[in-house]
Amino acid sequence: MRNMGQDSVGRFLRFSLWAVVLCLIALCSSDALAARKKRAPKKRIASKKGVVSKTAFQARVRRAIKRQCVRPGRLGLYIRSVSTAQTLYSHNAATRRIPASNVKLFTAAAALARLGPDYRFATDFYAKGGVRGGVLRGDLYLKGYGDPLFVHEKMRDLVRRLKLRGVRRIEGDLVADDTFFDDKKHGRGWRVGRSIKPYLAPHGALSLNFGLANVLVAPGDRIGGPARANLEPSSRALRLWAKVKTSRGRHPKIWVGRRRSKGKDLVQVGGSFPAGSRMRTYRVPVTDPTAFTAGAVAAEFERQGIALRGGIRRAATPPDARLLARNLSPPLSEVVSGLNKFSNNFVAEQVLKTMGAETHGAPGTAEKGLRVMRDFLLSVGVSAKEIALADGSGLSRMNRASPRSLAVLLEAAHNDFRLRPEFMASLAVFGVDGTVKKRRRRGVDSRRVRVKTGVLNGVRAFSGYAAAGNGEILAFSILMNGNACRPKSLTGELVRSMAALNRSFSSPVNAHLKGAREIMARPMPKPSVRDGWRRRSSPRPDPAEEDDLEELGPGIVPIAESPQDDSPGESPAEAAPAEGSGAWPSKSGAGGRNRE
């Protein structure tokens, strides 16, 4: 019995000891967990209501600038509510900076206001003599009015129209008339030198294919043999020298050059091209756009069976010459779409000089166009002290504009119904098309953000519109000079901040549209296969932390410069661009991206 009692006491003591040990372990664990929770930062839980006040919005923008900018003094930012006419944020907003391609916003808005969205550019054939038995007696005049979208296919159609008029032989010369513009081929302050970058293409009243010659390269029949290389369009002003071999591998190694030889542009192409690869197009700016266009028309005459007995020369079209055939561009509303979405420098300069010629008389010059643009900007409220413009594309580093001047223009264009539809449609949709096609959306409804980018060495610009969560429309402009900030990160944070704005507001102009604003605040439905749309995955994220490239357009491949490259019935007076039809060319592409 005594042994049994001792065993019971022993078991009780062991049980008590284990209970004490377990309690101590539990107590220590709870203390450690409490300490860990105390040290751990609290997770920020975003409110479903978003940013509900102006003060909270400003604080969020300040945090973004502090995180992403190493030199905030070189940043200019201005955000304004178009719906309430209220400034939401301002940081160095009146300081003039290099705006890069954001200058195209000024050019597009001024052109829509002064020329009208239905304006069309013409390219005409005139003659003084009559056509008898298929023979044109005398010279044929080719007059250009600065059409920025006059491409190879349009030129063929124009020659076909001439042939339908019964012309089979021309006894005189083909006379090229480029007097609608002056003879300056590049903007003031452009750093051209010996460069053959496509975005530096020359402009002129009689230009073809964005001032670019297409070099088409395809593999040959066997490895080690010559590859195929051709020029398109063919022109009497161009010659091709090609030394490209068909090789193994996956990536082409091509260089392209250009130099003057015997009064013509000698386009050089060399290197290796992999067997089995698709044909590639390399674009080279021509030296003389008028000679290039006239030479291409003469080559097209030969292709379509029209005999040209004379030569090619330049002169003005006589006032009493008769119109034989005409090509009309798409309306200006489509032209500015390519101008802004793809940041086309050539198109911008053509439009600028056309404004000058139509307002102040031919020849159109950059100075006349800038005068028209400046007068327009002052009329919509832009301060003369905040702008100093040198060209229409923004490629010149002599341009200066403040973020506030750009936002004032955006607000004026939005509030003017004559400009708003075409102007807003010309801007790139964030993460969908144009120069911001590859931008990461990160939860932002891309259809609520439309922007114009700008890129030069050490310069980044980002301006446009954003629709907030409450339907409020914001106009904003961000100008960064001197590598002040991380461009993509900063613009992405600011776009998300504007999209998150969900305050209650009362518009002095549109207070009665509360129901419409509530509809705008709802997320747009995704397209379905039933609606005839194909579901598309979101674009792949761009791993590089650098700003948006101003794209050349579909199918364009960058080139490597060669070390051998060297620089070198109605009268035309009464004729004005009239109505017609056309479309933005898809094959020839847009010809200019704004990078140095």
- Active-site positions read 101, 104, 343
Peptide bond before residue 233 is cis, with ω within 30 degrees of 0: yes
The answer to whether the CB of 451 falls within 8 A of the CB of 462 is yes
Cα dihedral 492→498→502→506 (10° resolution):
-170
Peptide bond before residue 568 is cis, with ω within 30 degrees of 0: no
Q: Please classify residue 253 by burial: count the beta carbons closer than 10 Å to its beta carbon, then call 0-12 exposed, 13-18 middle and 19+ buried.
A: middle
Residue type, 502: N
Strand residue runs (E) in 92-166:
122-127, 131-132, 135-136, 140-144
Give helix 487-500 / helix 54-68 axis angle, nearest 10°.
170
Helix or strand holding residue 333 (H, E): helix 332-341
Token reading at 424: 């807003």
Q: Is 231 helix (H, G, I), strand (E, B) or coil?
A: strand
Token reading at 362: 């031919």
The answer to whether the CB of 59 falls within 8 A of the CB of 482 is no
Question: Residue 459 forms beta bridges with which residues?
Answer: 456, 481
Q: Please classify residue 44 by burial: count the beta carbons closer than 10 Å to its beta carbon, then call 0-12 exposed, 13-18 middle and 19+ buried.
A: exposed
Rounded distance, CA 503 to CA 38, Å?
A: 34
Token reading at 77: 């930012």
Token reading at 104: 């195209």
Rounded distance, CA 136 to CA 133, Å?
A: 9
Q: 10 Å Cβ neighbour count for 184? A: 16
Rounded distance, CA 275 to CA 420, Å?
A: 50
Closest by CA to 84, choosing from 520, 497, 505, is 505
Token reading at 548: 């948006």
